[in-house]
Amino acid sequence: MAGWRLQDVDLRDRSEALGKLDADGSVLLGCDLESDAESDLRERGALIFPQVPDVPVNPYRAHLYTPAELYQGLETSYDATPDARAYAWSRGSRDLAHDLARALHDHAIDDALSETVADLRLVGVMGGHELERDTRAYLDAARLGRTLARAGLFVATGGGPGAMEAANLGAYLAPYDDAALDDAVEVLAAVPAFSPSVSAWARASFEVLRRWPAGGDSLGIPTWFYGHEPPNAFATRIAKYFKNAIREDILLHLCDTGIVFLPGRAGTVQEVFQDACENYYSTPDTVASMVLVGVDHWTRVLPAWPLLEALAAGRQMADRVHLVDSTEDVLPHLTSR
């Protein structure tokens, strides 16, 4: 096993086989081992990263999260779920071992995410987390997600509520007929926002998943840094990070088919210009489209468009930035790197 890299593997019934292998130079991260086998491997040159005690996450997990995993225990309350417990823990002790556990966790999520998105045509959808489910804008964002998924694109969002949830919802219901999305939004609209009750908000989501169980895939990349914003349950693959800066960079970098910016506020404006900076310094073959939706919002309410347009002038990105007034106008402007 010289040169092997094993991560998050249960090896407790493999002690005899491990004892017969050359362990020098192998690396085991968070693997379950019998104590005698662990001591033997260390003596024979294996580097073993042990479990970190007293943390509510697996720092070495080999796979992304699922909604069911993060929301396990929701029938009692949101506070009982792994998602809520991880957020509470992240706001507590700054013990060095716990800081290390968070860093190891985010590295493991990076690794799992890179394996998950290989060969996918990702398109990002950004927008405000405060968008409520009973609004026309929410339905439009959901229809956008459905359109993108039906066009063969893989929808990626920040994984939170509002416009992000709507886009993931649309992608999830893309395999169903059009009426399913309208019906699902009606179910969700009974609990329009995650405040005052995350529990009620999330339970409405799982009611939709129960009624339409065979949905399409999409990606959510939320963060426990904004733990007051719960993850939405319609992203089938969830890469949840502790570090928001890493999460933002990864999300924007992965969307090689382009990013759609729905109306939002500070967070969305930050994402617009973080993506613009990446495109500004990119080579021609790595510039991805930026599509801002909402002429009034982006020219008057939060006039990011004039600055973005001026920034793009004369650069390789000039023909890849677009301003449209409707989600129906987005798809033609998305181009792959």
**pLDDT band of 235, cuts 50, 70, 90:** very high
For residue 162, the model assigns a pLDDT of: 98
Least confident of 44-48, 68-72, 88-92: 88-92
Please return the burial class of 66, using the count of CB atoms within 10 Å of its CB with bins 0-12, 13-18 and 19+. middle
For residue 95, the model assigns a pLDDT of: 86
CA distance 333 to 107: 33
pLDDT digits over 188-197, tens only?
999 999 999 9
Fold of 117-333: Rossmann fold (3.40.50)
**pLDDT band of 51, cuts 50, 70, 90:** confident
Q: Of 92, 32, 27, 96, nearest to 58 (Cα)?
A: 32
Residues 6 or more apart from 329 whose CB is under 8 A from it?
293
The yes-or-no verdict on residue 335 having pLDDT over 80 is no
pLDDT digits over 61-75, tens only?
999 999 999 999 999
- Whole-prediction pTM: 0.95
For residue 94, the model assigns a pLDDT of: 78
pLDDT digits over 275-330, tens only?
999 999 999 889 999 999 999 999 999 999 999 999 999 999 999 999 999 999 99
Residue indicated by tokens 């249960």: 10
CA distance 309 to 288: 15
Ranges for all domains in the chain classified under CATH 3.40.50.450: 117-333
Q: Of 155, 172, 146, nearest to 67 (Cα)?
A: 172
For residue 251, the model assigns a pLDDT of: 93
